[in-house]
Structure 1
Amino acid sequence: MSGFRRPSWWALLLTVAGALLFVRLGFWQLHRADFKEALLRRYAAAATAPVQDFPPASGSSMPAADRFARVRVHGRYLADRIYLLDNPKHDGLGGVEVFVPLALHGDSRLLLVDLGFLPGNGNGKTPQLPPLPAGEVTLQGLYVPPPPSGFEMGGNALARQAGWPKTTIFLDTSEVARDLGQPLYPHLLALDADPASIYVRVHTLDFSSMPPARHRAYAFQWFTFALAAVVILLVVHRKRKPRKPDSTRVDDVR
């Protein structure tokens, strides 16, 4: 290290602290990428998993938050309590994702059912909803997390609507539960695809805003910052060669 000056303690401390922070953030991004990839693999594997009854039998535990159970459920639609998620990104014409609560026998909690995507016709109007069965139904699908929610201008859109169906740009299950006046299961039932149904049922985990590849790109960025912090410290404290005196002398002009 003869080519470098000894750094001050605060410069060394600041560099080490910053580099460690950047490295930790980089590894956190890598862990998030691995976690999401594992979720995607579990979600794909759930399509061929054996079907189990829902809710689980007495004494059995509910599926974990990171597990996607393939379930069969019996209940009755609350057909007059339909929720529309406005304009999901399924096609260029727009449309709505349709959700309906399902009442289960002997259960105070409601299960929110994702019927699927109903394509629009390009005129901006809500598509015509087909009627729902009035009696008991048997449904099958995946028990999955609700779609991601976000900030909605004006607050809770459901509370401002008196008629049904109610439309929202974010489906917050806690707001839906308050709107219904009954508790909901934390996840919802995404129905299996049905060629005879008018609904488009292509269910995926929504990581479009932050897929695993983007987490890895951010990890590379944080590791680069850590390396840059060390390089800056070395450059700032590099010894400079002393200037050689000018060997030429300019005679005074006489």
Structure 2
Amino acid sequence: MSGWRRPSWWSVLLTLAAALLFTRLGLWQLDRAAQKEQLLRRYAAAQTAPPEDFAAAVRRGDAFAHVRVRGRFLADRLYLLDNPHHDRRGGVEAYVPLTLPGDQRLLLVDLGFLPREGPDRTPQPLPLPEGEVALVGVYLPPPGVGIEMGGDALARQRRWPKTTVYLDLAEVARDLGRPLYPQVLALDADPASVYVREHAYDFSAMPPARHRAYAFQWFTFAVAVVVILVVVHRPRRSVERIDR
């Protein structure tokens, strides 16, 4: 049996570079998981906290705040986010802008989820009150945009409510012709409402558990490249040739 074969310098360098890269990617995924778990804890705390004045929460700049606010719905300007992740049947999440007294900016309100009534039938939101309303909910970041395909779909629609597969507040603001607050108001649950208000801020597309799974995958790759280098340069059994 021959001894270990000495690897070339470039193979060692490539192996170390790949292992370091994969390790760094794994640590980055673990960091992302920790960040999202912290956001989930803040969201859970906001849901149970006493509601505070909306203006005070905005001035404080908190990403998650349980607030109360008064205003009037722009009831004829609804937006339907198609097929949110938290319902297997499919459906839409309904959003409507709210005008605040003496404020040029609009607050986009998440009314809740409406299940799809049929395979090809989009749920129709019910009429909203025309007078001033008092709302209570969690002021939080909008759902992630993800990969936008096909440009601004809102500008091409001429009838309301408008349907979109992602919620981009900048596009909504351009569509309305007025500035928006940078976050949305997810209303508290109401047993009397037709909307399902389970605003699960759970990062459905990329929850913390998936980040940890990706981290394990990257760490596995780091180990694999080192193992490959060792296997390729392991001692090989010599074969003795016997002449008869």
TM-score by length of 1: 0.87
For 1:137, the equivalent position in structure 2 comes to: 133
- Amino acid in structure 1 at the alignment position of 2:25: L
Question: Are 2:96 and 1:126 aligned?
Answer: no
RMSD of the alignment, in Å? Answer: 2.2
Structure 1 counterpart of 2:152, from 152, 156, 161: 156
Higher RCO (CA 8 Å, separation ≥ 6 residues): 2
SS of equivalent residue, structure 1 residue 56: helix
Report the CA distance shift for 1:75/1:17 in structure 2 as closer, same or farther (over 3 A).
same
The reply to whether residue 180 of structure 1 matches residue 176 of structure 2 is yes
1:29-81 per-residue CA deviation (whole Å, 9 max, x = no partner) reads 111112222222222222211211112279x43214xxx11011111111121
Q: How does 1:25-64 map to 2 (within 5 A)?
A: 25-56=25-56, 60-64=59-63
Match of 2:213 in 1: 217
Instruction: Quote how far apart the aligned CAs of 1:86 are.
Output: 2.4
After TM superposition, list the pairs within 5 Å mapping 1:192-231 onto structure 2: 192-231=188-227
Q: Which amino acid aligns with 1:203?
A: H
8 A Cα contact 1:32 1:215, kept in partner: yes
- Using the TM superposition, name which of 94-103 and 148-157 deviates more: 148-157
Partners of 2:88 and 2:239 in 1: how far apart? 68
SS at match of 1:222: helix
Could you tell me the percent identity over the aligned residues? 69
Q: Which amino acid aligns with 2:103?
A: D
Offset at 1:159? Answer: 0.7
How far did residue 161 of structure 1 move? 1.3
Partner of 1:9: 9
**Deviations, residues 110-140 of structure 1 (Å, cap 9, x unaligned):** 1100111123322633334322121211110
Distance (whole Å) between structure 1 residues aligned to residue 125 and residue 170 of structure 2: 24
1-structure distance, mates of 2:30, 2:89: 37
> Of the two, which has the highest radius of gyration?
1
SS in 1 for 2:137: strand
| Cα deviation, residue 3, structure 1 | 4.0
Aligned 8 A contact 2:97 2:108 in 1: yes
Higher helix fraction (1 or 2)? 2
How far has the Cα of 1:152 moved from its partner? 5.2
Decide whether aligned partners of structure 1 residues 239 and 34 sit closer, same or farther in structure 2, where only a CA change above 3 A counts: same
Which whole-Å CA distance do the structure 2 matches of 1:14 and 1:93 have between them? 48
Q: What TM-score do the two structures reach when normalised by structure 2? A: 0.90
- Tell whether the 8 Å contact from 2:85 to 2:204 is kept in structure 1 after alignment: no
Instruction: Give the AA of the match of 2:235.
Output: K
Q: Give the aligned length.
A: 243
Question: Does the residue aligned with 1:133 lie in a helix, a strand or coil?
Answer: coil
Amino acid at match of 1:76: R
* Cα gap change, 1:134 to 1:36, in 2 (>3 Å): same
1:21 deviates by: 0.6
Query: 1: CA distance between counterparts of 2:215 and 2:241?
Result: 49
Give the SS at the match of 2:226.
Answer: helix
Whether the aligned pair in 2 keeps the contact of 1:4 and 1:234 (CA below 8 Å) is no
Task: Give the conservation status (yes or no) of the 8 Å contact 2:79–2:161.
Answer: yes
Question: Does the CA contact (< 8 Å) of 2:81 and 2:92 recur in 1?
Answer: yes
SS of the equivalent of 1:47 reads helix
